[in-house]
Chains A and B, each alone.
Chain A
């Protein structure tokens, strides 16, 4: 059974390697993921926001809804832990 699992995994790995040969190179400017919106972000980020770190500009300005949702997810996780694990009897650091 273990050998069957191992053979299955090895064949799957071979399939993955074969497929990955067709992927575009890393940071290829002509890759399909990089030709649609990225040039506009790069140009407008340089021109309108004028901060050197373009990743921060995209993350906090152009994609601000995403960052808002991400922060809300983390905050909600904290609130859920608070609600599940909070003890009502402790008084010194109880939630106000």
Chain B
């Protein structure tokens, strides 16, 4: 466990979370969520939970983004607030 790298990853984790909350375009929000999942997967792999990291990378960064975009295609693309 390299605590500098871990701290840098935690600091990077904040950025896509704020972007996903603040941006108006919901597809950009889904892309930010995907980046968030990827950083979480890297963090879990560094903590030694490799199985959970593989699940997070396959589900969070792979399938969930596609399903969100598929659900967005049934509604509007822009956020209203």
Contact = CB atoms under 8 A, between A and B. Distances in A.
Direct A/B contact, Cβ within 8 angstroms: yes
B23 interface: no
B47 A26 contact: yes
Interface residues of A, number: 5
Contacts of B1: 26
B51 A27 contact: no
A26 B51 CA distance: 17
A55 B51 contact: yes
Nearest to B67: A81
Interface residues of B, number: 4
Interface in A14-32: 26-27
B3 to A, nearest CB: 11
Interface string B41-69: 00000011001000000000000000000
Interface in A29-57: 53, 55-56
A26 B1 CA distance: 10
Nearest to A55: B51
A65 B33 CA distance: 31
A26 B3 CA distance: 12
Contacts of A56: 51
A53 B50 CA distance: 11
Contacts of A55: 51
Interface of B: 1, 47-48, 51
In the complex, the 3 A-B pairs of residues with the closest C-beta atoms, listed nearest first = A55-B51, A26-B47, A27-B48
6 contacts: A26-B1, A26-B47, A27-B48, A53-B51, A55-B51, A56-B51
